[in-house]
Structure 1
């Protein structure tokens, strides 16, 4: 009898763990509450240019391999955001093609593959797909690549925050990227070191998204005090997440 009770308890624990690890992400807010379409269009165009530079020649590719994966993964989420956006934008219908093309760039293993994939990505800017096929519930990009991309974007934000009155628009644009990464990383909970902490992962992603969105709003309002407050909240959310999921990065 005791053995049966232990087995039953064990199976219950497994069922609970699986349920936690596979729980669907919470519903996303309208994308306009995450980031303005105009900022995301600016960033997508910028990432395309950066990726083209990364495959300009084989030497540049060899120096930029890691960055290329980060940039392509980030662009994938920007494409999803533009496809799902409730504000009209020029890349809404191109978004599905851009997402798939960005995935191929990130997966490239040789210079030739990367060069061809980036060319296909640029061509996808003119594609006409069905944005209703996109979903925030999908794993649209590599979680490790996204987490490595965050410090790069954050460094740029901090640099431009030092001259806020001059570069508020740039802070706004980069904060839009962080907000999208926060939202788009939610489905990757199972890829973390603690997949059973899925509720915490969702909460931290939402905190990052909302703090970055608040920073974006403050920048567009040219409110430096509000921007500083949002930056502090953003840093706090990152530190709290690392304490649970990636303590060695603190």
Structure 2
């Protein structure tokens, strides 16, 4: 009784004219928790006690009366007539519900996972459609979602699905198990990409460092301005020992001293 009184302190779900099926399920759950759903659904009359009633009969009649009183005290559905009116007004007839279910199933069949989408985002989208179908009173089993995932996920999951086909009976695999497997591969793939990016950054940094060192070397000691004018030819850009006109140089064409073959003027 203490648990029931604490639950009754919770306000019943409010119906704002939209999402009737969701509200009806919540309201039914709320009434069942208070043991009042029977009073609203059946709208029974409490029969009078017979002569010489037992204590059990007196107690049962009292409970029935209390349920009726509590049920009528709820502002949103104080009688079965009001409950049935709301159901007929907002749930629609069987034909309308059937059309809604067909549209939802058609939408479900057209769904495909995008390359930029995560497994969770795609599965949540499929589950949202499936739950709408269920709220309209139609059966929608999880195995349909499993089949949908297996045939519509991108090619990057092909290896994982092939492994599942070789190790498990896919007709018996649960939705939770399939989602765990797909999300695990997704996480491994994401981690590998992060490792590649993190590993590439130091290499690139080293290449840039080498380039900068080489560039600085040219600026500091490899440019023409770093050499004094050659004492042999009075030109810059080379040390004296590499000068083509040094005295000990010997032309390989004319065998003369004082220059190398690149400056030889003797005709072949």
Question: Which structure: greater helix fraction?
Answer: 1
Q: Is this a same-fold pair by TM over 0.5?
A: no
TM-score normalised per structure 2: 0.22
- Greater relative contact order structure (CA < 8 Å, 6+ sep): 1
TM-score normalised per structure 1: 0.24
Higher-Rg member (1/2): 2
